[in-house]
């Protein structure tokens, strides 16, 4: 199976919370990342979490890590139309060998 | 100015042609990477370089070659382009002690 898996699409209403989920297979992953890709642009790092943490919060973003289940999630509070983009989950082992999911396209409806 | 730049941003070429995609960075990073992005497949690593004298194959290096001309420059070549190399290509850089990679804006390549 794929190293990093995530659902391809998510649609929410403006003002609601969005939760994007990701699973990974490499139990030796030391860093887990969330990147955002807007149309016509490269990937922009949103946040990352070290594998010995279970939660990280940064303004509207909350990352939850369940290391036992190898499950990562990104919660965006009060989702805005500007949050519409593709969100990539990625894992790496000691900063090397970064593996990306296929990306989740988030659509925010007014 | 952008820290990681890619040229060209868009390119159309024909099957069998040789083309080169360029990447330059002003971040002073040792590590540079080339990825391709296909719809529904995420990013796949083509080649990576940890310094000027170090070149390594990634997951999908067949049909590609690279050159690390200087710390700041890493170019990707398609020796004989084929249609299934139509994709979005990203260059990325990473500092030796940094946790993440920084991406360029991408080059959209169409092989007819």
Kind of pairing between the strands at B87-94 and B107-111: antiparallel
Using one digit for the tens of pLDDT, what is the confidence trace for B27-72? 999 999 999 998 777 889 999 999 998 999 998 999 999 999 999 9
Kind of pairing between the strands at A55-58 and A61-66: antiparallel
Say if residue B83's pLDDT is above 80: yes
Using one digit for the tens of pLDDT, what is the confidence trace for B70-81? 999 999 999 999
A91: nearest CA partner in chain B = B100
Question: Which of B42, B101, B105 is facing A102, going by the closest CB pair?
Answer: B42
List, as one string, the DSSP characters of A42-104.
-EEEEEEEETT-SEEEETTEEEEEETTTTEEEEEESS--GGG-EEEEEEEEETTEEEEE---E
Question: Between the CA atoms of B24, A101, A10 and A22, what dihedral angle is there, to the nearest 10 degrees?
Answer: -130
Q: Which residues of B touch A87 (CB under 8 A)?
A: none
B106 close to A (CB below 8 A): yes
Give A 34-93 residues with CB within 8 A of chain B.
Answer: 35, 40-45, 48, 50, 88
Whether residue A102 and residue B40 make contact (CB cut-off 8 A), yes or no, is yes
**pLDDT band at residue A2 using 50, 70 and 90 as cut-offs:** low
Using one digit for the tens of pLDDT, what is the confidence trace for A18-35? 999 999 998 888 899 999
Using one digit for the tens of pLDDT, what is the confidence trace for A50-64? 989 999 999 999 999
């Amino acid at each position: 199976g794929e190293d990093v898996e995530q659902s391809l699409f998510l649609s929410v209403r403006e003002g609601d919370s969005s939760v994007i989920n990701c699973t990974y297979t490499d139990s030796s992953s030391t860093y887990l990342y969330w990147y955002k890709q807007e149309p016509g642009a490269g990937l922009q790092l949103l946040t990352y979490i070290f594998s010995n943490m279970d939660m990280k919060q940064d303004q509207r973003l909350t990352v939850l890590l369940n290391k036992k289940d190898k499950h990562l999630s990104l919660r965006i509070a009060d989702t805005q139309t500007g949050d519409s983009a593709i969100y990539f989950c990625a894992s790496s082992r000691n900063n090397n060998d970064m593996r990306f999911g296929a990306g989740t396209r988030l659509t925010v409806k007014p | 100015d952008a820290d990681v730049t890619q040229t060209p941003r868009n390119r159309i070429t024909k099957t069998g042609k040789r083309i080169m995609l360029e990447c330059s960075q002003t971040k002073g990073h040792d590590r540079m990477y080339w990825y391709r992005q296909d719809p529904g497949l995420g990013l796949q690593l083509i080649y990576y370089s940890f310094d000027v004298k170090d070149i390594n194959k990634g997951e999908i290096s067949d049909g590609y070659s690279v050159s690390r001309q200087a710390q700041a420059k890493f170019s990707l070549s398609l020796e004989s382009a084929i249609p299934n190399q139509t994709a979005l290509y990203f260059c990325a850089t990473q500092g030796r002690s940094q946790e993440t990679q920084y991406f360029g804006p991408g080059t959209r390549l169409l092989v007819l």
